[in-house]
Each structure stands twice: as C-alpha cells, then as structure tokens.
Amino acid sequence: MAAIDSLNTVWFVGTVSLLYVAFLFVIAIWGNRLSRPSWQPYIYSLTLAIFCTTWAFYGTVRQAAEHGWILAPTYLGAILLITLGWKIFDRIIRIARQENSTTISDFISARYGHSRGIGMVVALLCLLGIVPYIALQLKAVSASFQLLTETTSIELSWYNDPTLFIAAIMAVFGILFGTRTVDSSESHQGMMLAIAFESMVKLVALMAVGLFAVYGLYDGFGDLVDHAMAVPELAQALTDYSDPSVYLTHALVGGIAIIALPRHFHVAVVEYRSERDIRTARWMFPLYLLLINLFVLPLGLVAQLNQELLGTVSYITLRIPMAFDQDWLALFAYIGGLSAGTSMVIISSITLATMMCNELILPLMIKLGWRGEDGDIKASVLTIRRIAIGVVLVLGFVYYRLLSQYHSLSEIGVLSFVAIAQFAPAMLLGLIWHGANRAGAYWGIGIGFAVWLYTLFLPVLAGAGWIPSGFMDGLWGLPFLQPHAFLGFNGMDATVHGTFWSLLLNCLALVIGSLYHKPSFADIEQAQRFVYSHGQSHHDSHKKYAIRLEDLRALLQRFITPAKVANFFEASSNPLTGRLIAKGQVNDEMLKSADRLLSSVVGRRGSDLLLRNLLEDQPAQYSNLNTLMDEVSEVVLFNRDLLNAVLHSLNQGITVVDENLNVVAWNQRFSSLYNFPPGYLYVGQSSENVVRFIAKSGGYGDGQIEAVVKRRMREVANREVLHYVRKTSDGRYIELSGIPIAARLYVTVYTDITEHRHIEEQLRHTNEILEQRVEERTRKLVDLNEDLQKANRNKTRFLAAAGHDLVQPLNSASLFSASIINKLERRMDAQPELVEQVLPVAQHLDQSLHAAETLLSELLEISKLDADIVRPKRQVLPLAQVLNSLVSEFGPLMEQKGIRLRAVHCSATVDTDPVLLRRVLQNLLSNALRYTTEGSILIGVRRQQHAAVVEVWDTGLGIPELELEQIFEEFHRIEPAPGVATPTKGLGLGLSIVQRLCQLLEHPIAVRSWHGHGSCFSVAIPVTQAIGEPAATPNAINGNSTSGLVLCIDNEQQIIDGMGHLLSDWGYSVVTGNGFNRARQALDGRIPALVIIDYHLDQGVTGLDVMAAFRELWQQDVPCLVITADYTEEVKQKIDCLGYQLLRKPVKPMGLRALLNRMMP
C-alpha cells in the first residue's frame, strides 16, 4: 500500500499534531476565563466520553471485525450502568463529595475508616493497572503516526520517537491546567472544555470514516451486510451466539470501569456541579456511545471484505481512507485517534499523580520528619504532583517501548480494565454491606490483584521473554497452576478466565476477611455513613455491636466528672435517684456522643480502645488500662510542657487566675516586668497579694494603694473583659488586657508599650509642625493660584482679541479673492485671453490667503491648547451627526480635486465633545485631501468592545515607517519622494493639534501607513447608550420669507462688500448692513430667506442681539448663520441654544457654499 503522497513526511504530520495540541492549549486557556453555567451539563457529559480512548477508536473496530459484535460490549456495560444503574453512579458521587474524596483511593480508604494503608494499596495498584493503559494510548498514537508516515519502530529510536514529544506535551498540559492549586477538589474548567472538544473531534472523525466506508465504498448498510453475508466466515461471525462468555465478560468489565477507573471517578466527582449534570449525562452519554459505535461493525466488515487490500485488521479506522487515497480523511482520522489518546492520558496522569502525592509521597516525607511553612507546603505539594505527572508518563512510555508490541490495543485495554475492576467488590459491597471492614478490604483487593497478576499480567511478561516461557506450564510444573487453566479450568478465553477467578476470589476474600476480623469503631462509623447515607439511622441488632447503657455509664464514670456523666444520661435516668430507668442498648447517636466525650479526656486512640472492648462484649476487662493511662499521662505532660514553652516565649507578661482568685500560671516576662523577688510567685499564690505588690511598686500609677487593689480585684472576680493603659511611677506605659476563658479561669496580658508611646508623642509633635508648614504653604499657593488665574484670564482675552483682529482682514481678503475668481470664470467665454492671464494670479492669491488663514488658525489653536484654555464639553450624541457635517463640507472640495469621498453609515452613540472631535476629524480629512492626488478617501467607523473607532483612509503618498512616530511633533512635515508631485505645504502643526485634542478628549489615536500607497488614521471614541435626539433645527423658510434673499450683517465694511460680491456671484440676492437699523432700512419690509451675521458688532452689541430684534419684528424664525473668530465654548453654547448654525472665521468659500446649500430651501 502506497503512502499518502502529500502526508508522507514525519515533519508534516508531526507539525499538524503539535498544532492540534497547541490549539487544545488555546481552548483550555479560553475555558479558564469562560463563564457559561448553562454549558456545564453538556461539558460534563462530553468529558465522561474519555471512556472512549484509542481502544474505542481502533481496538473496538478490530474486535467487531473478529467477533461480529453489533455493539461493543464495553459500551453496552457503560450504557446499562448509566441508564439503569444511574442511582449507583449518583450515590457514589454524593458520598464522595460528602467525604471530600477526589480520587478512587480517597473514596475506598474513607469507606474503611480512612485507612491510610488501604489508600496506599489502591494508589499503588492503580499505578500498576493504569500504566499499561497509558502505554496503550501512546502505542496507538505512535503506530498511527508510523502508519501515516511509513516509518517503523526500527527507524524511530526512543529519543526521536514522536510519541515521546507528544507525551511530553501531554505532561506540560496536565501540569499547567491540572495542578494550578493544591486543592484537588477544585474544578479544572479550561481543561474540561478541551477534553469535551476532543470528545467531539473523535466522534466526528470516526463517523466521517464510517460514512465514507459505508456510502463511499458501498451503497449503504444493507449493501454492506449483503456482501458480508455472502462470505461464509463473516456470516458465521455475525450469526453465531453460542458462546456469549467473552461478550458478557467485556460488558461486565465496561460497566465496572465507569465507576472504578481513576480518570472516570475524577471527572464524575470533581467536575460535578448539580443534579442537572447527572440528568443530562443519563441521556447524552449513552447517545454519544451509540453514535460512536454506529460505524464500528460496518468498518470491521469493510476491513474483512477488503483484507487483501488492507493487509491487516489493525488500525482499520486509519487504513481504510489511506487504502482508497483519501489523504485528508486519513489525516482527520489520525487527529481523531490523537484526541482519543491525549484526553485519557492527561486525566489519568493527573489522577495518578494526585494519588501518589496524597497517599504515598507526602505521608512518607512527613514520617521522615519533613516540615515546612504554609506557603512552602503548598508549593512543595504542587511540585510533587507535577513531578509525579512526568513520572507517570515516563512509566507509560517505557512500558509502550518495551512490552506493548507483544499485544494488540484491545488486549492491553482489557488487561487494564480487569485490573481496575478489582476495586469493584470493595466499593460496591462497601455501599450495601455494613459488615465490610478494612481487613476484608485488604484481603479482597490483595488477592484479586494477585490473581490478576498471575493469570493476565505475568503471561504478558512471559510473551515478551522477561520471564521463562515455562511459567505458562504452571508453577513447579503443576498443571492446575497454569495461568490460563487455573485449578483445572481450561478451554476458556484468557480474559474471561482471568476476570472470573480474580473477581470471584476477590469477593470471597472480602467477605471472609470481614467476618473473621472485628471492625474498629472507625470502620463502623464510616460504614454507617456509606451504607445508610440515604436512609434513616439504622440500629444494628447484631450482638457484637450492642452496648448496654449501664456498661457505657460505668466506663464513662471512670474518666468523666459525675456532673457530666449525669448530664449525658439525663434522658435515660430517674431525675430523683439518678439511676437508669431502663437497661437498654446504646444507639448509634449516643455511641458517637460518648466517643467524643471520651476523646476529649483520653484522646482518640484511648477512646477507640475503650469502646472497642465494650463492642467486643468485654466490659469488665481492661488489661490495657495501665498502658492507656501511661499514654494519657504522657499526653498531659506533653501538653503542659508545650504550654509552658509557649508562655515563656511570648514578649507579653501573662497571668492566669483560677475561680478561687489564686495564681495558677504565669511567665518569666511577667515576673521581670514588675521585678518580683525570687520565690514570690508560686502556684496557689493569692492574686490579691500579687496586685498589692504591683500597686506598691507603682505599677498601676499614682493613687491610693488599697483603692487600686480593690478596683483590680473586683475586675478579676467579676471576670470583666478589660483593656486599658497605665503609666507606672518610673515612666513606663503598661497595657493591660483581661479576658475570662473556660474552666472559670481569668487571663491577664501585660504589654510594655513605652517605646510605642514615645514614638506616638514624636509623631504627634512632628504632625503639629507639619500642619503649621502646610498652612503656610497653602496660603502661598492660594495667592499664587489667584495670580495664575488672573494671568490665565488675561491670556484668554488676548487670544480671543488677537484671533478676532487678525482673522478679520484675512477673512475679507479671502471673500474678495473668491469673488474675483468666480467673476473671471464667468467671463471665460467673453474674454478668454484676459481670463487666462489673470485667473492663475487670482487662484495663487486665493491659495496664499488660504495658507495664511490656516497657519494663523493653527498657531492660535495650539497656543490655546498650550495655555490650557480649551476645556472639553462632553455630551452624548449620535456620531453620524459629526460625520455627516464633515461629508457635506469636504464633499465639494474633494469633487473639485477629482477625488471621491466615501463614507460608511454609522448608528453609534458616543460620549465626546462634538466641536473638538469635529476639529480632529477635520484636520485628518484636510491632510488626506492635501496628500492625495488621485483615488479616493474613506471615512468610516469600526465597532470594538466599548468604543467606536473612526478611521480615515486615503490613497495618497503614505508615510515612511521611520517617520510614523515623528509626524505628531510640531513643525514636522513629510517630504515627498523624488518625482512625486509636491502637495501644498503647511506649517506642520495639524497633526500636533490633533494629538493634543485627542489627549484632551481621552480618545486614543493611531496611524498605519504604507509608503507610496496611502495611510489610515484612527480615533477611538467611547460608545454609550442612545438618548432622545433633540428636534432638528428648522432649515426651511416660513411662508412670508423671500426665497433667495440673504441678509449679511458685519461691522467691517470690507467683509460686507466681499460677502456681497461672493453671494451675488453664486446667484443670491444680497442685502447688507453694519447693524440693525441699516439692515432694516435695506430690507425695506422684506423678510430674508437667510441671515448671515457676525457675532461681535460695534459698541458691545452681538449678532444674537440683532437677531432677537429681527425675530420680534418679523414674528417668525428665520435661519441664521453666525460667523465669528471667537472660538470660546461660551459663544458656541449661546449659538447652539438658539438653534443657529456656527461658522468660524476665516470663512472658506467652499465650506460656506456647502452650508448655504443645506440651509437654503
């Protein structure tokens, strides 16, 4: 069979594998940040699909091909358990969460009295049973890689085997996303999302191959079955059900694996969130298994029918698309198998590492004397778990390289499943049988694994040549000890044989061991929690668990005070005589209470021993009582020594007074604090004598000694909670804190805070000095601030006056220039020679005036920005309001230059200053127009998370990459390349103004450019919710107005004349005046269609005052365009409030014309 031509390189397939695993990293990272609770039940169900490993992807297909199984037996067992036996599944989850068990070893050890030994045994056996299964996954990944790339195990040494790198990546994935915290019960949300994604990938991949095989090679399922039935061997396999033992054994093992596999237990318990998870998994997980099994048998039949072409029935899922030249389908199938393997290996390595750390490594380190701080312990635990993950994968890789070649995937899978099934008796019998104890669990698990090892695992080693092949003939040559014919049972399938004997002897050993050995109190207590976790309290009537009330009372009276014993048996005693009313048996609740009471006196170990004697019906025998009391004495001595060591290590003085007001404890610091003479303090010393000694030495400060002593003793006798400070006669400050504690004791803590008080006094003195200095500096700053405000007001007035006075003559000259050009263009036909001579001069004059206006405007604007005069006035408005006005303004200008202006509609509502934003975008459009000689300019908006980004694109000269950071500097201009037309030069202040305005508005600006192709400037503006839009300013004229008549009012005659000439040239009827009276006379009773008026007129009169007078005269609203060189926000607000349009000087003729076209009817 030829290799797939486009995929036959190790590097290509290896790269695809690494990219896929990298994509899983991305999903896991995204999943850790994702918060979608509604997804949880579906993710939970899909993560349970780690049950479908590479065995499901490759091995079950081979099983179906060899046995003709319609439904894989392991799937059948899992489906039956999750649908019919779901209450078992649910009960295990609930008990595990109740006991805070996160691993299978935690769960089993918790059932048997939290036995550390059981946990260690289960952890070790899990490692032994799961490592071959991990090797199975690595073998499948390696074999599919070799098959796809036509390499062999001989060509691939261990150090260049890609499986080693895949295993390393799996280890890194598990470490990053499975050991983030010490708490192993914490959910791994990102990792589970990646596992769920892999479940979908392997399902789709297997179904894709199945669809190709059934419908691409045959005419459907019916046609395929007809071809198979025509082959006698296949017909026999499909119809022969005479020996169902293999099928039923595999189904049993599959059902057990759902609850006993460490990886499944981890996913089912740790990732469980609510009952919705179980409800969803009950239908979704079986549906998943049915879908992934749908094409298993058809693929096996296709393989058998085309065996000459395929050559083998191994890795059928991958061989079929390769044999029929379906290159990319083969690669997809390989990725599906890789998904099936990685998900299992990652979860299994994490669970095994957790068990190894919790059950083996940490207990050993603690026993050897390891200790650490809290943070060090957490870091050490995480480090151990991460190393353990690597060790697990190394063991799996070694097993894969050494032994997996001797068995197929299905054989290795069943081998591991049967090993894990040895936990089932201890788990399931422990849930239903109260009598199961830890001794029986040891026997059962130990014997079950020993039989598994003998009948299934050692034959693997014999086949590999690691042990003599004579082992298969039985130990010492005894036929009845043959691994595959144990005790003379031969003729059975090896898997059926090993499963039968291991589980049978496991169950028998568990029952016999539990009946033979007496349970400990911990066994009984945990049995009740597991067996009766869903029912009411059960009272076992068996003789060996019965304790009589009088026996328990006699035991408690030996160690507990009579008052506490009487209170304990109050409900069962005669209130007059104190004798027991009934001589019945102790119930479970009373037994637990007695255990807690005894534990408080003699410790857990002593309580367990005493109650065990009673449980074994030996109440009169206390042969170990002396030993027990010795241990109790040692504990008491240890506790006393520990308390003394703690007291004497404290920096505070401490005294403890009993209910008789005698001193029972103190420390050395207290003695030295008040200089008690040697021997003065002793146990039983009257606290009154101690207080009087302190008072006489001045320890409580000034005052009558007897009064001080009485007050202090009253505080101790009344057990008052107190806290105060006393100054001693030698100048020290002593802080006293008193608090009553249990057993009628009163503790007083004495702390010398003299040094703290001195520091406090120094701080208070320093604070007073600082307050004086701050007050002086504040006065100076207030005076300086007033001077600065005055200077700022003067600067503002100067800039406003300078702007108005400098712009006025330029404005009038610009209007005259535009009028001259317009007149020359109209006389082109009449006097072409004269026009051709004069028109260029006029156009140059107009360009020069325009350049002067621009330079002056930029200088004034940047001066205001530097002076911090400009203040943004934010408001919420539609962004389209600003963009539409700019399109109207620049459309004619760009059309005149032969450049197309394109605008993208925008509905966003933004929070900004519309005037300053318009200035920013106006500068950007002006630059685009200046540096674009042909093509188009685009202004549009892109929506991002919380911002609307306005972008201005042009097809102009572009900006060299080295100058991108310099263009926002003052006076910086871009020099065009040689041979490129030079645009009109500016002063180099436009983009500097844009940057400062954007910083003022807090609108980030960015630039991208491609030299020789164009540029893109973008401004990000925060979006907000839309508000009600104000009514539009009426632009139409009322009925009494005269269409086409324009009234111009300005106090400068030159501007009036220039405006009149320009408007007349455009075809308007113009009436002019320098004030209200002249304008009214010139109108002669007519009402204009539009008024163009200057804001600042003579003698302090404003254009708004004149318009108010005309409104009263005309008794109707007339559109008004206010022209001004005053850029202040106050003027703009006044104009906006009246609904008038604003046009700032110097007036650009084309901008004026565009505005007139919009306002005139």
Distance CA 305, CA 929 (A): 74
Examine the pLDDT at 872 and tell me if it is beyond 80.
yes
**pLDDT band for position 188 (50/70/90)?**
low
Flag whether 826 is in a domain: yes
Q: DSSP per residue over 249-268, as a string?
A: HHHHHHHHHHHHSHHHHHHH
Tell me the pTM: 0.47
- Residue 38 CB neighbours (<10 A): 7
In a 10 Å sphere around its CB, with 0-12 CB exposed, 13-18 middle and 19+ buried, how is residue 380 labelled?
middle
Are 74 and 190 part of one and the same domain? yes
- CA 186 remoteness from chain centre: 13
Domain count, the chain: 6
The pLDDT > 90 percentage for the chain reads 4
- The DSSP 8-state label assigned to residue 357 in this structure reads I
Question: What gap in Å lies between CA 489 and CA 480, rounded to an integer?
Answer: 8
User: What is the CA 1015 to chain-centroid distance, rounded?
Assistant: 38
Whether 743 and 767 share a structural domain: no
Does residue 137 sit within a domain? Answer: yes
Question: What is the spatial order of strands in the sheet that 653-657 belongs to?
Answer: 663-666, 653-657, 745-752, 733-741, 722-727
Phi, psi of 1048 (to 5 degrees): -115, 125
Q: Which two tokens stand for residue 1152?
A: 């004026």
| Bigger pLDDT: 1048 vs 1112 | 1048
Query: In terms of C-beta density within 10 A (0-12 exposed, 13-18 middle, 19 or more buried), how is residue 249 classed?
Result: buried
Q: Which of 229-238, 454-463, 542-551, 688-697 is the least confident region?
A: 542-551
Q: Residue 661 is encoded by which pair of tokens? A: 């007001």
295 lies in a domain? yes
Separation of alpha carbons 52 and 258, rounded Å = 11
Mean pLDDT: which of 9-18, 1103-1112, 1142-1151 is highest? 1103-1112
- Asked if the structure places residue 632 within a domain, the reply is no
Same domain, 284 and 230: yes
Beta bridge partners of 882: none
For residue range 560-585, list pLDDT tens digits in order. Answer: 667 777 777 777 765 545 556 666 67
What stretch of H or E contains 481?
strand 481-482
Residues 684 and 813 in one domain: no
Closest to 827 (Cα-Cα) out of 816, 840, 814, 836: 836
Tokens matching residue 116: 């550390």
Last residue of a domain, one of 606, 623, 640: 623
Contact at 8 Å (CB) between 378 and 163? Answer: no
Last residue of a domain, one of 405, 426, 452: 405
According to DSSP, the residues that pair with 910 across neighbouring strands are 877, 1023
- CATH code for position 335: 1.20.1730.10
Provide the b/e sequence for 62-95 (b: ≥16 CB within 10 Å).
Answer: bbbbebbbebbbbbbbbbbbbeeeeebbbebbbb
Domain range enclosing 667: 650-752
Helix (H) or strand (E) holding 878: strand 875-878
Please report the beta strands in 906-1041, taking only residues with DSSP state E, as ranges in sequence order: 909-912, 936-943, 947-954, 1005-1010, 1014-1022
- Distance from C-alpha of 207 to C-alpha of 199, rounded to nearest angstrom: 12
Q: 919, 997 in Cβ contact below 8 A? A: yes
* 3-class DSSP assignment, residue 7: helix
- Nearest partner of 1052 among 1120, 1109, 1118, 1125, judged by Cα: 1125
**Three-state SS annotation for 1021-1072:** EEECCCCCCCCCCCCCCCCCCEEEEEEEECCCHHHHHHHHHHHHHCCCEEEE
Helix (H) or strand (E) holding 644: helix 625-649
| Helix and strand counts by DSSP (H, E) for the chain | 44, 19
Q: What are 1066-1102's pLDDT values in tens digits?
A: 878 888 888 888 888 888 878 898 999 988 888 888 8
Residue 1154, CA distances (Å) to 914, 984, 1044, 1065, 1136 in order: 19, 23, 15, 15, 19
The residues, ordered by sequence, that sit 6+ positions from 797 with a Cβ below 8 Å of its Cβ are: none
- Whether 819 and 938 share a structural domain: no
% of residues, the chain, pLDDT over 70: 77
Of 623, 641, 658, the residue at which a domain comes to its end is 623
N- to C-terminal Cα separation, the chain:
84
Pair of tokens at residue 327: 């290159």
Closest by CA position to 209, among listed 100, 135, 296 = 296
Q: SS3 of 739, please?
A: strand
Per-residue pLDDT tens digits for 490-501: 777 778 888 888
Instruction: Determine the pLDDT at residue 2.
Output: 41
Gap between the Cα atoms of 1004 and 568, Å rounded: 75
> Average pLDDT in the 1-23 region?
66
**1049 inside domain:** yes
Is residue 602 in a domain? yes
Q: Are residues 193 and 76 in the same domain?
A: yes
- Residue at 401: amino acid letter: R
User: Can you give the CATH number for the domain in which 1098 is found?
Assistant: 3.40.50.2300
Residues 133-183: tens digit of each pLDDT: 787 777 777 778 777 777 655 445 666 666 677 777 777 776 776 665 544
Give yes or no: residues 598 and 574 share one domain: yes
**Together in a domain, 268 and 199:** yes
How do residues 794-825 score in pLDDT, each as one tens digit?
665 665 556 556 666 766 676 677 777 777 76
Burial classification of residue 1078, based on how many CB atoms lie within 10 Å of its CB (0-12 exposed, 13-18 middle, 19 or more buried)? middle
Pairing of strands 481-482, 485-486: antiparallel
- Burial code (b: 16+ CB inside 10 Å, e: under 16) for 599-624 equals eeebeeebbbbbbebbbeeebeebee
Q: Are 1090 and 1160 in contact (CB under 8 A)?
A: yes
Residue for token digits 């802080």?
735
Give the mean pLDDT of 939-963. 88
CATH number for the domain that contains residue 1004: 3.30.565.10
- Please give the pLDDT value at position 1041: 43
Distance CA 446, CA 503 (A): 11
Task: Name the one residue in this structure whose structure tokens are 């408001």.
Answer: 875
Block residue for tokens 């990272």: 29
Shared domain check, 92 and 61: yes
pLDDT at position 805 is: 62
Q: Which two tokens stand for residue 816?
A: 């005259």
Show contacts of 584-587: CB within 8 Å, 24+ apart: 584/548, 584/549, 585/546, 585/547, 585/548, 585/549, 586/546, 586/547, 586/548, 586/549, 586/552, 587/537, 587/539
Residue with tokens 């503002």: 796
Structure letter (DSSP) for residue 405: G
Measured in residues, the chain has a length of: 1161
The answer to whether residues 250 and 380 belong to one domain is yes
Structure tokens of 1039?
A: 């009925």
Q: What single-letter amino acid sits at 102?
A: T
Segment (H or E) for 664: strand 663-666
Give tens-digit pLDDT for 387-403.
Answer: 878 887 788 777 777 75
Can you tell me the distance from the alpha carbon of 822 to that of 658, in angstroms, rounded to the nearest whole number? 112
Number of Cβ within 10 Å of residue 1091's Cβ equals: 23
Q: Measure the CA–CA gap between 1152 and 1161, rounded to whole angstroms.
A: 15
Same domain, 800 and 744: no
Would you call the peptide bond into 1146 cis, given omega within 30 degrees of 0 as the criterion? yes
Kindly state whether residue 862 falls inside one of the protein's structural domains: no
| Residue at 667: amino acid letter | N
Start-end of H helices in 827-901: 832-866, 879-897
Q: Does any domain span residue 509?
A: no
Chain-wide mean pLDDT for the chain?
Answer: 77
- List, for residues 349-391, the tens digit of each pLDDT value: 887 887 777 777 777 776 666 555 444 556 777 777 778 788 8
Q: For 95-101, what is the mean pLDDT?
A: 76
Asked if the model's pLDDT at residue 216 lies above 80, the reply is yes
What CA–CA distance (Å, rounded) separates 138 from 144? 10
Q: For tokens 């054994």, name the residue.
A: 249
Q: What angle do the packed helices 262-270 and 86-98 form, to 10 degrees?
A: 70
> Which helix (H) or strand (E) covers residue 743, if one does?
none
Number of Cβ within a 10 Å radius of residue 724: 10
The CB density around residue 626, as the number of other CB atoms within 10 Å, is 9
Mind listing the pLDDT tens digit for each residue in 680-735? Answer: 887 778 888 888 888 888 888 777 888 888 888 888 888 888 888 888 888 888 88
Other Cβ atoms closer than 10 A to 726: 18
If asked whether residues 1010 and 1046 sit together in one domain, one would say no
